[in-house]
Structure 1
């Protein structure tokens, strides 16, 4: 396996802060690495150092001679000139680039809407494109190249669910097994799981390495935190014993170490947690009545971008939101997702049909932009929240605004930072908090994941877990949709709203034309058991004997899984107890790996048996 890039003791100082401090790591042929970390911790800086764009203040970076590197930076050049065609394929004739399967795939996967909806298509000047279109053109320009290493900084920005799925599939089959390397910074957790087999977390000036994608990273980080907590607890016990001994000492002897005693106590009290906590206790919501928000036979027309006849965005759509319903909305760009939210809030009125709102409904909207914070840009973060409300009831108890700000991940310093100086992710959190203190019972979120890192995304999801009202989430973040909502609906650009019993996978299948979808203003229901049985019979499904055998196998495998999970938990507990004994931990780790490997095999067998069992 060829070595592509190696970093040795790399350090980068920005201002008075060590962004990277003595980082050593490398990239080999065949690596697929995702980079995560909090905003501002140095993810993009790490990429620029490895690609040679930024010279480190200490250490060195070496690259294999002749290695071809393609880079998508975080920010595109707003002053870029030329056409889309020249940026992506240069001066190549159509027949030349169209004969390359990879180039054809990239152009169709990323630039179809430009070819169809932008005057001039691929010959359109870059200056006439929207920010999202320029971003996709820049990504296409990188992907058409024949690179040994592809470095992508936030490639999923401005991609919809379908575009993210296409990019993941492209990167999975771009190189033969063991060839080519990928280094990607992204906050899209589904994408990380889909394409990466290693995760680097940039934190505290260093880089922690984890095997696997996002799910494996979360599990490994949780286990590291648990072991660290065990060690910290033991250290705390030692400190408490030392403090007790100091207090028992003779007065003549303790007079001098009094300062040490107080300092030690303060040190223990001020020791921060390993990670910023950002959990907000469930906000008390006003009780919703039977009626919440309903669209009834709604027709909505919008002006055509080319000045022609108005385009029908919604055509006879009926949609009823129930109390406590949690629904995600997906759809192609321009299909009307944000417009639907504006109808629900009353900001827009339909051309036909009506929008009914319950008498007790109190709606809050988290918009895509941060313009709501412009009027409080000179206030400190805490003051911006206190301006809305100084205290709310949480689980029947009064909670101050300062406590809420702290629970949503703002340290004391950041709580007293002017809003205009906060990072994009911090302002997004502040925007959400200012909404929640008003205790809404209907929450509409329009692309809530913009500018948020993976830790903060998990925090926001924890907040939404405790929201007791009706929740509507418009997002291209597949992980967020599946994590926070119970079901999804789709706007496919044909004026209709469709239910997605199969979730995002069904939406992608519809977009790919794999399954025919019923058309109508009213949401179609889930197929009946009779329909499913007929479909299975038509497809030559399993016999009754096969189903009975599969069900027995499912029961057997479930019993085995329970035993393996118990063994795994026991081994983890023993590893924590023996944390100081390297030999014991190594032996236990070998046992654990064997148990985990068997559990994964049993889980895979269970999935196959369960599919047959029905």
Structure 2
């Protein structure tokens, strides 16, 4: 069943054509991600398909009897409403019923109240407010009475995401849904979308997310859309095959073009009409061979300032805002080349810690000693505050006219911009014309151009395309200085960091040796009390200079398990492993696609398995208290 179809779409900005003659369709049950380089037009295409922007040419058709939910990259909220009111302002039959009930209750209209209650019962909308609070809580929003106008950009995005999820539309259209989410919220959203039997269209650069959620990838490349049936790993394999074939075809075309060019030069100016077909074919071939884009490679081979033996020492660092303790006597000595990931829920103090390390915020107590050779490069979540009417080349020249590379060579600002994939025409564009990803790439350039030897990167993956992320990862792997990273991109963190600081709340920081997935696997294997940091047996302590888990001291007072309970405990462990394996198999089947009825059945089975896992996990934790 077709939900959305687009025929011969075209969109240009001035003399720049994003795409033309683009045709695309989505069927019920599809979960499609649009990927592509920064500036290729992904967000524009998504806006056109969602109906919030008109194309220059072409037609977009939606099935009339379906509901559509759209999450914009910059969501528009009514700043005078509370968070709960913003979410209730969405569109769905259940939300209409809740609003009618609330209004009848406020007006003390008994007839309207009776009708509203009947409608609430019919639509099963009584627990709707609880669902809203649950979704907001999973996305890191706790105070539902906070006014929308007081929210940060990241909070606004999360509220808008909650609003569109609670509507449970038939077709869900999401633009960078994982931006501004912490890691736990991303995993919640990943599980939600995997078990939801709706239809999904999104733009995302999160490679784990793409691999686990989508069953179809559409790449927007040079104005054309290439669609692949399968997840992200399958797309990478098929894309390589397509590019290899395209390179071979381009070589053939260029050889033909050279032969035809010689023929054209030999012909007299007054050509006969008999050769017109060949002349037309030559012009077409000329456009085909000259129009091929050379992506090039993002070159980050920049010189790093010398880094001495003394780098950064943190002693008894403490910080609180009001009653909320963010750090409590945190200690750590950075060594070369430390690669640290900083993780924790939103609001736990990740950005606060980075601001203190770089001297932008004073601690309440404690001491930070910075080595004399340390030169910070701080890449923040906040977008560049640049005049919209300033040209890109002028922005870079204001920082440095020339730059030295690691090999000692000197390059100009123009050459440097070219290495960062800004071609000549783009260098003289105004900042206002750059896409979100291009602005972030320019921001990265301005950080690296200052030759830092200690990089602090706060969400560097937001809005960067996958090609840029791959090259940035390679650069950081070979970077000889220190790196401290906050990112929601689990693949990016897994590839780069060697240990993680986990902000657990109440000022506690756990230094765990390993990457994010290592830590998550360890955390998930612990009883609930240990995960929350409230208690931990001595053998789970992690050797670290940061705050270690608290040890339990009442084991001797606990009762012993009976033989039957011990057998039950062991059997539950095996059952949970089997259930998780079965669930993963079903998720893989969902990602591979299939008939809608089968997809629905698999999704329902996954929900039942999740419920069973939750029940058995609770019983396992209950028994584990007495092991």
Q: Same fold (TM over 0.5)?
A: yes
- Asked if 1 retains the 8 angstrom alpha-carbon contact of 2:431 and 2:439, the reply is yes
For 1:46, the equivalent position in structure 2 comes to 45
**Separation in 2, partners of 1:277, 1:432:** 18
How far does residue 433 in structure 1 lie from its aligned partner after superposition?
1.9
SS at match of 1:394: coil
For 1:424, the equivalent position in structure 2 comes to 436
**Separation in 2, partners of 1:373, 1:445:** 20
Of the candidates 284, 289, 294, which is equivalent to residue 313 of structure 2?
Answer: 294
What's the TM-score, normalizing by structure 1?
Answer: 0.71
**Separation in 2, partners of 1:103, 1:458:** 42
**Separation in 2, partners of 1:293, 1:282:** 25
The change in CA–CA distance for 1:108 and 1:60 in structure 2 (over 3 A counts) is same
Answer yes or no: is 1:337 the counterpart of 2:379: no
How far does residue 183 in structure 1 lie from its aligned partner after superposition?
0.7
- Asked if 1 retains the 8 angstrom alpha-carbon contact of 2:302 and 2:451, the reply is yes
Of the candidates 187, 190, 194, which is equivalent to residue 165 of structure 1?
Answer: 187
**Separation in 2, partners of 1:370, 1:61:** 33
How far does residue 501 in structure 1 lie from its aligned partner after superposition?
3.9
Segment drifting more, 81-90 vs 285-294 = 81-90
- Asked if 1 retains the 8 angstrom alpha-carbon contact of 2:325 and 2:505, the reply is no
**Separation in 1, partners of 2:7, 2:60:** 6
For 1:348, the equivalent position in structure 2 comes to 361
Answer yes or no: is 1:204 the counterpart of 2:222: yes
Structure 2 counterparts to residues 221-370 of structure 1, below 5 A: 221-239=239-257, 271=290, 274-301=293-320, 303-304=321-322, 309=323, 311-370=324-383
The change in CA–CA distance for 1:126 and 1:499 in structure 2 (over 3 A counts) is same
For 2:73, the equivalent position in structure 1 comes to 74
SS at match of 1:286: coil
For 1:573, the equivalent position in structure 2 comes to none
Segment drifting more, 98-107 vs 330-339 = 98-107
Tell me the alpha carbon deviations over residues 588-607 of structure 1, each in whole angstroms, 9 at most, x when there is no partner: xxxxxxxxxxxxxxxxxxxx
Q: Which runs of 5+ in 2 are unaligned?
A: 89-94, 103-116, 270-278, 550-568, 574-627
The change in CA–CA distance for 1:388 and 1:45 in structure 2 (over 3 A counts) is closer
For 2:137, the equivalent position in structure 1 comes to 111
Answer yes or no: is 1:156 the counterpart of 2:143: no
For 2:495, the equivalent position in structure 1 comes to 483
How far does residue 147 in structure 1 lie from its aligned partner after superposition?
2.4
For 1:411, the equivalent position in structure 2 comes to 423
Tell me the alpha carbon deviations over residues 379-414 of structure 1, each in whole angstroms, 9 at most, x when there is no partner: 542662464241303323333332221111110111
Answer yes or no: is 1:464 the counterpart of 2:476: yes
The change in CA–CA distance for 1:87 and 1:284 in structure 2 (over 3 A counts) is closer
How far does residue 421 in structure 1 lie from its aligned partner after superposition?
4.5
Of the candidates 400, 408, 419, which is equivalent to residue 412 of structure 2?
Answer: 400
**Separation in 2, partners of 1:457, 1:503:** 18
For 1:184, the equivalent position in structure 2 comes to 202
Q: Which runs of 5+ in 1 are unaligned?
A: 253-259, 527-537, 543-614
How far does residue 5 in structure 1 lie from its aligned partner after superposition?
1.9
Answer yes or no: is 1:522 the counterpart of 2:545: yes
What's the TM-score, normalizing by structure 2?
Answer: 0.70
For 2:110, the equivalent position in structure 1 comes to none
Answer yes or no: is 1:33 the counterpart of 2:32: yes
Tell me the alpha carbon deviations over residues 251-273 of structure 1, each in whole angstroms, 9 at most, x when there is no partner: 99xxxxxxx9xx99xx89x9476
The change in CA–CA distance for 1:429 and 1:294 in structure 2 (over 3 A counts) is same
**Separation in 2, partners of 1:245, 1:55:** 45
**Separation in 1, partners of 2:359, 2:406:** 29
- Asked if 2 retains the 8 angstrom alpha-carbon contact of 1:109 and 1:163, the reply is no
- Asked if 1 retains the 8 angstrom alpha-carbon contact of 2:508 and 2:547, the reply is no
**Separation in 2, partners of 1:323, 1:373:** 34
SS at match of 2:298: coil
Aligned CA RMSD, in angstroms, stands at: 4.0
**Separation in 1, partners of 2:173, 2:302:** 41
How far does residue 199 in structure 1 lie from its aligned partner after superposition?
0.9
Of the candidates 149, 168, 171, which is equivalent to residue 127 of structure 1?
Answer: 149
- Asked if 1 retains the 8 angstrom alpha-carbon contact of 2:139 and 2:162, the reply is no
SS at match of 1:79: coil
**Separation in 2, partners of 1:106, 1:505:** 29
**Separation in 2, partners of 1:59, 1:427:** 29
**Separation in 2, partners of 1:56, 1:217:** 27
**Separation in 2, partners of 1:227, 1:525:** 55
Tell me the alpha carbon deviations over residues 540-590 of structure 1, each in whole angstroms, 9 at most, x when there is no partner: 999xxxxxxxxxxxxxxxxxxxxxxxxxxxxxxxxxxxxxxxxxxxxxxxx
- Asked if 2 retains the 8 angstrom alpha-carbon contact of 1:4 and 1:27, the reply is yes
For 2:160, the equivalent position in structure 1 comes to 138
**Separation in 1, partners of 2:442, 2:193:** 35
Segment drifting more, 8-17 vs 427-436 = 8-17
For 1:558, the equivalent position in structure 2 comes to none
Of the candidates 399, 403, 407, which is equivalent to residue 391 of structure 1?
Answer: 403
For 1:591, the equivalent position in structure 2 comes to none
**Separation in 1, partners of 2:151, 2:414:** 43
The change in CA–CA distance for 1:57 and 1:173 in structure 2 (over 3 A counts) is same
**Separation in 2, partners of 1:237, 1:115:** 60
For 1:548, the equivalent position in structure 2 comes to none
The change in CA–CA distance for 1:377 and 1:494 in structure 2 (over 3 A counts) is farther
